Structure 1
Amino acid sequence: MRKSITTRYFYSTAVLLICSIAVMGFIQMYLAMGYFREENGTALIQTIDNAILAMQEAADDGIVEKRAEAAEAAEAAGLDVEDIKRGITLTARAAGKSILVTDAYGSVVLSIPSEYQGMEVSVKTCNATYSRGIYDEMGTLGGIFSSRYYIAGKPILDEKGMLQGFVFAGANADSLTEYLANLFSTFILSAGLMLMVSSVLSIVLTNRMTTPLRRISDAAKKFGGGDFSARVPVEGDDELAQLAETFNTMAGSLEKIDQSRRSFMGNIAHELRTPMTTIKGFIDGMLDGTIPPENQNHYLGIVSQEVGRLTRLIKNMLDITKLEAGEYKVNATTYDIWESITSVVFGAEQRLEANNIQISGFAPTKTLVLADQDLVYQVIYNLVDNAIKFCNVGGEIRFSVTQSKGAVTVGVRNTGAGIAPEALPYVFDRFYKEDKSRGLNTTGSGLGLHICKVLINLSGGKIWVDSKEGEYCEFLFTLPAPPSSPIKGGKLKDQ
């Protein structure tokens, strides 16, 4: 079963919270036990000190001898055993602890409560207490206590530092269990409430975060169904909002590409249908005798022109496909740009003379560029061919070549009807032809300028158009200049 992002995020958050709460609970319990133990240890030591103080107040000498001689020693020293017992009892009751007083050999000579009197503290415990000066553990004091106790102990020394006995105090550890149980129940209640609130907040926040993703998913499904008009609302300025903006930008590009594709297919159908209809009509006319034999050569010439038009169209389409697919590798070399201009102009000499078109600005001066000569020749050829087609009879074509800031700018300008301002942004689109601004010339396929743009982009330059309707149209493009090429400023003078 597929899990949504909301479900997975909720599970992840829940696991993280549970692990965090478990770690926090463990740390809290550990610290609580340490604190409780430290507090009990401090209280036990204080109880022992109070017991020793009570004994010292009852007598200036050591009060503990061997168990068999304890009473005689106390009487000989003038001690009041009952006063000592009374003082220790008050201390034990005030502190709520059990107190054991032993002689130097570990025999309990006095205990509160009295049930421990006569028992033996192990020699090991006594030695540890004497050597360290203090005893601290959690246990049964060698089996003396019936359950676990917090136990502390200190040796009793006389004024000369001689060992007289030991005092041990114990506190039942059941209080810790009760304390931890209360603490644990409180912690569980708090953790449960926290998990509940966190779960609700997690679901709400996750839904808010995933809503844009669901919208994008829905829009993507519409794209898959062919609807490219879907857009995603942009809310806020976070990463999801940026994703939505990017998605909308992509959607706009896809919609434009789809429209371009449809237009492309329509244009191809139109461009192919027109010459093919003409060819079929003339050939059918020859076959069925509608066109007499004496006129067939004339119409065969028209058919030949239409076939040539189809050939150029197909060639241009193949060129565009290869260029846009990156199959053509640019072979950039350093050469004189005027070589290409001169070659194209000389090749178009007959067409220029037939239309009585004047050439200006044609003053070849060595100007080096770093580009693929074949690509640049194709660009110049297309621009000159375009200029000749739409230049008015008796008009002028002007060339310009300038260089500045490491780039060479080439311009081809022709007089004539020019291009309408609203058509300027589209002149480099595939199959675009604006008959109003281009007169009645319909022999072109609308691919030449698009090819020029692709070729110039491959060459590392840019191309643009400048036009004034009813006066002129000028196409300009830039090419990189070689690093060592000298800078030339200004336009070349007209011939």
Structure 2
Amino acid sequence: MIKRWYSSFYIKIFLSFLATCILFFIGLAVFWNYYFTDMFYKDKKELLTSRLSEVNKILASYQDGTISTRELRFGVRIIARSFNGHVWLMDAKGNILNGSSEKEGSLIPTSMDGLFIDGLKGHTGFVAGQYKLGAVDQIGLLTYYAPAQLNGEPIVIFMNVPALEISQALTAVRWNIVVPLIFSLFAVAIILYVLSRKLAGPLQQMNRAALEVAGGDFTSRVPVTSNDEVGELAKSFNFMVDQLNEWEDARQDFLANVSHELRSPLTTLRGFIIAMNDKIIPEEKYGHYLRICDEEVQRLQRLVNDLLDLARIQNGVDVFRTHPVELREVIHEVLELVRTPMAEKNLILLDALPSPEEGPIVVELDTDRFSQIMQNLLYNAIQFTPPGGKVTVSLDFDNEHAIIHVKDTGIGMADEELHRIWDRFYKVEHARTSAAEGTGLGLTIVKHLVSGLKGTISVASVQGEGTQFQISFPLYPGFTDFYERGCSSS
């Protein structure tokens, strides 16, 4: 029963808040204790510090031979009487040398051994406490210790001053601090207990709903009963469940699409292999069917490469190696790569790029990834543009962006297809085109690559007239002024 009570969610919240408050009150008590202690002892600390400098002067005179041992003893005792205390000069063995009390020649009290050792290490400090100096206890004693040298040997100077009145005043102040803090702690504990129970209700509902979602039930929702932070948390939880539901649907679709895309070429390959093993296919036709098998293997290879590319980009593993590039030159290089396949399909490639006299168009890009973007768009245009059609690549810029258009005179797309082209494995109906060798991942990769390079991409299409993609990248800083001057002069 006790274990179950302790594992309760609101009890954990209550205990956590209570522990925080206790730590806060302890810190507050320690701070005020330190503050008042320092304030009450401040004058005596300043007095002992000034008297220490006088003792050091006497020691210096003694070591110079200016004064005798008797004069040293007499001077130290006068300093001790000036603050109604004791001054001890202790050697490295803890023996009290010339001092201001009858304890000369005796060992340091054992209760002060820690201070003595700290002083031998070269440290200085103030300590308030109780020390047995004789037959009775000395109450409220303030001790100041500091390292020094006497005849080339290390010694420790102890200065003790009674502080009974200060000790009594501090005791009264401490009670005045602790008692209100204890009562405040009880009041805060009651308030926290009530608040924790109020907060725990919706949180416990979220906990149960989270377990149901973890079990695969995406219909679970948390009722929103307020407009405060807890209510906002409930709304966010419900939104998260909606997103998870969508992602689960997308995951199922993704697996189904991958399975379908892999099954087709694998089925073809297995069928041809079995047919050739069973001698169903004549040997003279092996070459023809092996070429078909090679095409299917290449299709599988493209699919796997696209899947790996997409996974790296979406998971942030792919690193973009960007650097300033002259955009017109990079586009020229890409166009040279696609001229041959366009000529083979009897397509006309037109480029409408600004002349070099208009100045450089510099954009920060990863050249390889930008080339991949352009090739995907251009091969997409080749695939869906019939022979005799045109593919136009143009480049323009404004004060802030470089804008690239890739336009074709192909089959175009209907509105219901247009908003799905960025989906994984989505393909235009095969009945409208004979080129069905694509993986359906090219435009998805293009979308992610453009976003990774801090650009934007959009598409417009008219069925039967063609499609136009527009890509925009921010101009490289430092060239903006040049473009502004060029635009204003034109």
Q: Distance in 1 between matches of 2:431 and 2:198?
A: 54
Q: Does 1:434 align with 2:428?
A: yes
Q: Offset at 1:473?
A: 1.2
- Deviation string 1:134-173 (CA, Å, 9 cap, x unpaired) is xxxxxxxxxxxxxxxxxxxxxxxxxxxxxxxxxxxxxxxx
Residues 48-447 of structure 1: matches in 2 within 5 Å? 208-363=198-353, 365-366=355-356, 367-435=361-429, 439-447=433-441
Change (3 A) 1:280 1:234: same
Q: Which amino acid in 2 is paired with 1:4?
A: S
Question: What amino acid is aligned across from residue 461 of structure 2 in structure 1?
Answer: S
Is 1:476–2:466 an aligned residue pair? Answer: no
8 Å CA contact 2:9–2:204 kept in 1: the answer is no
- Say whether the 8 Å CA contact 1:286–1:296 is kept in structure 2: yes
Q: Structure 2: which amino acid aligns with 1:344?
A: V
Q: Output the amino acid matched with 2:316.
A: G
Deviations 1:154-212 (A, max 9, x none): xxxxxxxxxxxxxxxxxxxxxxxxxxxxxxxxxxxxxxxxx9xx98x999876554332
How far apart in 1 are the matches of 2:244 and 2:310?
20
Contact 1:235 1:241 in 2 (8 A): yes
Residue of structure 1 equivalent to 2:94: none
1 CA distance for matches of 2:429 and 2:281? Answer: 31
- 1:78 alignment counterpart: none
| Structure 1 residues 7 and 340: CA distance shift in structure 2, 3 A | same
**Structure 2 gap ranges (5+):** 21-186
Residues 22-41 of structure 1 aligned to structure 2 (within 5 Å):
none
The CA distance in 2 between the partners of 1:316 and 1:204, in whole Å, is 57
Residue type of the partner of 1:431? F
Is the Cα contact below 8 Å between 1:407 and 1:480 reproduced in 2?
yes
Q: C-alpha offsets along residues 376-395 of structure 1, whole Å, 9 cap, x if unaligned?
A: 00100111011100112221
Whether the aligned pair in 1 keeps the contact of 2:405 and 2:468 (CA below 8 Å) is yes
The 1:322/1:438 distance shift into structure 2, 3 A limit, reads: farther
CA distance 1:281–1:207, change in 2 (3 Å): same
Deviation of 1:274 after TM superposition, in Å, equals: 0.7
Cα offset, 1:218, TM superposition: 1.8
> Out of 4, 19, 33, which is 2:8 matched to?
4
Quote the Cα distance in structure 1 between the aligned partners of 2:283 and 2:19: 93
Contact 2:393-2:405 within 8 A present in 1 as well: yes
SS in 2 for 1:361: strand
| Structure 1 residue runs without a partner (length 5+) | 17-194, 491-495
1:338 CA displacement:
2.6
Root-mean-square deviation (Å): 3.2
1:472 Cα shift? 1.5
1:452 matches 2:442: no
Q: How many pairs are equivalent? A: 312
Amino acid across the alignment from 1:257 = W
Counterpart of 1:473, as a letter, is T
Residues 282-334 of structure 1 deviation map (CA, whole Å, 9 limit, x = unaligned)? 22222222221222211111111111111111111112222222222222112
CA distance in 2, matches of 1:14, 1:333: 55
Within 2, Cα distance between the matches of 1:235 and 1:423?
41
1:315 is paired with a residue whose SS is helix
In 2, are the aligned partners of 1:460 and 1:480 still within 8 Å (CA)?
yes
Note the C-alpha offset of 1:441: 3.2
What SS does structure 2 have at the residue aligned with 1:487? Answer: helix
Q: AA paired with 2:471?
A: F
Normalised to the residue count of structure 2, the TM-score between the two structures is 0.58
| CA shift for structure 1 position 438 | 5.8
What letter corresponds to residue 7 of structure 2 in structure 1? K
Structure 2 match to 1:487: 483
- Is the partner of 2:483 in helix, strand or coil? coil
Distance 2:14 2:300 in 1: 64
* Larger CA Rg, structure 1 vs 2: 1
What secondary structure, in the 3-state scheme, does the structure 1 residue paired with 2:396 have?
Answer: strand
Cα distance change on mapping 1:278 and 1:437 into 2, 3 Å: closer
**Hey, what's the Cα distance between the residues in 1 that align with 2:18 and 2:309?**
60
Give the CA deviation at 1:416: 2.1
Verify the 8 A CA contact 1:419 1:437 in the aligned structure 2: no
In 2, the alpha carbon distance for the partners of 1:342 and 1:483 equals 23
Report the residue type matching 1:3 in the other structure.
S
Go from structure 1 to structure 2 and tell me whether the alpha carbon gap of 1:303 and 1:240 turns closer, same or farther (over 3 Å shift). same
Alpha carbons 1:334, 1:482 under 8 Å: kept: yes
Q: Is the 8 A contact 1:463 1:476 kept in 2?
A: yes
Q: Which amino acid aligns with 1:417?
A: I
Paired with 2:321 and 2:192, the residues of 1 have a C-alpha distance of 59
SS for the counterpart of 1:408 is strand
What displacement does 1:345 show? 2.3
